[in-house]
Amino acid sequence: MSESNSTVDMERKGTEYEHLEQEFELPPYSSTWESERERNSDNDNDKTNTFTEKLNSNVQLLRCRVAELIYDMPAYTSTATSYALPLFKNIIPTNLKSHIFAFLILFGLGITPFIILLHFIYASTTSFNHFFSSRTETCSSSGNSGFTDEPTNSTITGIEALFFLDKTFGHLTFPQAKVLDATWDLIVGRGAQLLCWYIGYRVFVNALLRVIERHPASLQTFIKLSLNGPSWGSGMALLRDLFSSAKTSLRTRVLFAYMFVSILYLLSVPTVLSAITGYVSTSTPWINADGENNEGIVPASEFKSATAVYGIINGIRNGSVEIEPTCAFSGQISEFEKLSRTRERECNCSFANGTVRSYATWRMNYYQSSPWLKNPDTQLPYNLTDCTIEYPNNTQQYSPDVPLNNDEKRYCKDPFTITINNTNIPLTSLNTSFALCRGDRPYDWADLSKRTRCLPDTSHPSYEWGFSSMLSAIFVIVHFMWSISMYIIWLDAQVNCKLVKKGYLLSQLRAVFAISVAAEQKTGFQGRELVEAERKELERELFGPLSGRKKGEEVARGAVVDKGVFGVGEEEVKVEVESANSAEVGQKLRRRTGCV
């Protein structure tokens, strides 16, 4: 009994050994990745599946129609087109949902911010150069002075203008400003980096599979990209491959260089987004009124916008009347301006020839017929003052909206006068101008702008939070170019990579299995032997020496990951059209497009 059992055991073991000695073959795509895709699609919406099936069916019908047209073409035309039709076949997406999702991400996160930037640029300026020009620092608050001119040393140029916060808002306490800035860094900065990392990981692993189909990739680069994604380690591995002696194509080197630069961008995203924003203390303008040795510095709120009298039109002196520049009569002048509007609305005026008419009608007709509204160089042969209200024998009265000296009615012919040194001087004879007044002393607006500085508002201390428009624009432009380039790399893998087109998704778990296969092929060790091997010796054998290219020889680069790890055979031989027979070409085109 024991002998028969042992014989059966030996036969079973022999059978197992025979299975172990057989060549290992990966299951075909139809039983692995295709079934995986089918299982995933079972959870999708039925309407979406129906739409996708109809769209793919229509696309396939279009391809067959094109093949039929080429079949009926002349021989030389169909021969030339036979090389272009496979490209038409390749651009048809195998997974329509992923293409739609990728384009929505591109449009939402890459193109839309760029469109918004263009809108703001051309809504406020006329060119990019003006938008990226120097910045002017203005005070947060000008008090009640109405003073809004540029303070001294307010122009910011160079690298400082890049970080200048010119779009600020709010009056926050320091804790509020700090919490708002920290929230931005945590949610927007780190959130954007996480999203960009995921996009970069999906694009890079697909691009890596595309590279592996052309030639083997170093195990170290495969480990860093497939397990860590965009990181400093991945960047260093790519940089090492760029300067290694391994025989790689120019296309691969350019791709690796781009991926290295892209990783640097991804790692800098949170830092740049943090530098875009910030908070500053509110400031108020202070003016050096005396203009010497910074003495007499007073807040700009002490200056008020008013009308100042600088003298009489015919000169400063008029007999015994002498007028110094003063703001003392600004209140009276303001009241006279209100009375003037009422008088012009209700009173008549007289021309030199004695014609009397309504001043409101004359004023309206004058401005309607003024050619300077269309051509400022053209002057009318008459002036608005040719029709005067203050003519003799004018007995009209008007009711002022704001009575002066408690008068309920005033005569239209009475001039507006100001009493200076016991002398009544008509307002029309005074030389008046708009100015900034402190007390009764007027100051020239342009002169004060040269002696103004922004200082912290100590009376009402607060903070403003905002953005740097210049740095924001640069980030949006760079992000737009990065998004477009990443989409092109992803689309290339989707169209040209066999593994990706078959639905293969390289996850971190699958990457671990591929790494194990590549390590076993290089060292000959099995799983447990790899785990127990001496670390430094194993790393040296798998990753190769640290030195790169040596003169006159090539340096072994350690283990590699080739397409055999993923079960991809030799690429199909391209159809070479050597005959001018259009029927033969048409049949080949039909077979290649799947129409027969």
> How do residues 300-351 score in pLDDT, each as one tens digit?
778 888 888 888 776 544 445 567 888 888 888 888 888 888 888 889 999 9
Tell whether the model's pLDDT for residue 62 goes beyond 70. Answer: no
User: Which positions ≥6 away from 351 have C-beta within 8 Å?
Assistant: 357, 386, 387
Band of the pLDDT at 462, cuts 50, 70, 90?
Answer: confident
What are the DSSP E strand ranges found in 373-479?
397-398, 410-411, 417-420, 423-426, 430-438, 441-443, 452-456, 463-467
Tell whether the model's pLDDT for residue 56 goes beyond 70. Answer: no
Contact indicator for 476, 192 with CB cutoff of 8 Å = no
- Kind of pairing between the strands at 356-358 and 348-350: antiparallel
Higher-pLDDT residue of 262 and 27 is 262
Examine the domain organization and report whether 115 and 242 are in the same domain.
yes
Band of the pLDDT at 248, cuts 50, 70, 90?
Answer: confident
Per-residue pLDDT averaged across 469-496, rounded? 92
* Least confident among 135-139, 468-472, 552-556: 552-556
Out of 78-92, 412-426, 510-524, give the one with best mean pLDDT.
510-524
* Least confident among 42-46, 127-131, 256-260, 544-548: 42-46
- Kind of pairing between the strands at 348-350 and 321-322: unpaired
Examine the domain organization and report whether 346 and 475 are in the same domain.
no
What's the pLDDT at 381? 65
Examine the domain organization and report whether 244 and 374 are in the same domain.
no
Tell whether the model's pLDDT for residue 144 goes beyond 60. Answer: no
Examine the domain organization and report whether 501 and 362 are in the same domain.
no
Tell whether the model's pLDDT for residue 402 goes beyond 60. Answer: no
Examine the domain organization and report whether 252 and 147 are in the same domain.
yes
Per-residue pLDDT averaged across 253-266, rounded? 93
Residue at 274 is within a domain = yes
What's the pLDDT at 294? 53
Examine the domain organization and report whether 550 and 498 are in the same domain.
yes
Higher-pLDDT residue of 410 and 586 is 410
Examine the domain organization and report whether 364 and 261 are in the same domain.
no
Residue at 309 is within a domain = yes
What's the pLDDT at 291? 56
Examine the domain organization and report whether 523 and 392 are in the same domain.
no
- Kind of pairing between the strands at 297-299 and 283-288: antiparallel
Tell whether the model's pLDDT for residue 160 goes beyond 60. Answer: yes
Higher-pLDDT residue of 584 and 188 is 188
Tell whether the model's pLDDT for residue 148 goes beyond 80. Answer: no
Tell whether the model's pLDDT for residue 441 goes beyond 80. Answer: yes
Q: CB neighbours (10 Å) of residue 164?
A: 20
Examine the domain organization and report whether 314 and 272 are in the same domain.
no
pLDDT above 70 as % of the chain: 66
Tell whether the model's pLDDT for residue 536 goes beyond 50. Answer: yes
Higher-pLDDT residue of 398 and 368 is 398
Provide the terminal-to-terminal Cα distance of the chain, rounded to the nearest Å. Answer: 62
Q: Report the alpha-carbon distance of residue 316 to residue 325 in Å, rounded.
A: 10
Supply the range of the domain harboring residue 491.
96-279+467-566
The pair of structure tokens assigned to 499 is 């593994």
Per-residue pLDDT averaged across 120-136, rounded? 66
Residue at 308 is within a domain = yes
Q: Report the alpha-carbon distance of residue 75 to residue 213 in Å, rounded.
A: 34
Examine the domain organization and report whether 254 and 311 are in the same domain.
no
Residue at 44 is within a domain = no
What's the pLDDT at 195? 93
Residue at 83 is within a domain = no
CA distances from residue 30 to 35, 123, 448 in whole angstroms, order as listed: 7, 55, 82
- Kind of pairing between the strands at 417-420 and 410-411: unpaired
Examine the domain organization and report whether 383 and 509 are in the same domain.
no
Q: What is the mean pLDDT of the chain?
A: 75
How many distinct structural domains can be found in the chain?
A: 2
What's the pLDDT at 551? 45
- The phi, psi pair for 436, rounded to 5°, reads -100, 125
Tell whether the model's pLDDT for residue 549 goes beyond 70. Answer: no
What's the pLDDT at 376? 52
Examine the domain organization and report whether 114 and 256 are in the same domain.
yes
Residue at 49 is within a domain = no
Tell whether the model's pLDDT for residue 146 goes beyond 60. Answer: no
Which tens digits make up the pLDDT trace of 164-223? 888 888 888 899 999 999 999 999 999 999 999 999 999 999 999 999 988 888 888 999
* Least confident among 67-81, 115-129, 535-549: 67-81
Tell whether the model's pLDDT for residue 429 goes beyond 50. Answer: yes
Band of the pLDDT at 372, cuts 50, 70, 90?
Answer: low
Question: Half-sphere exposure of 232 toward its Cβ, with a 13 Å CA cutoff?
Answer: 1
Band of the pLDDT at 260, cuts 50, 70, 90?
Answer: very high
Residue at 520 is within a domain = yes
Tell whether the model's pLDDT for residue 147 goes beyond 90. Answer: no
Residue at 326 is within a domain = yes
What's the pLDDT at 265? 95
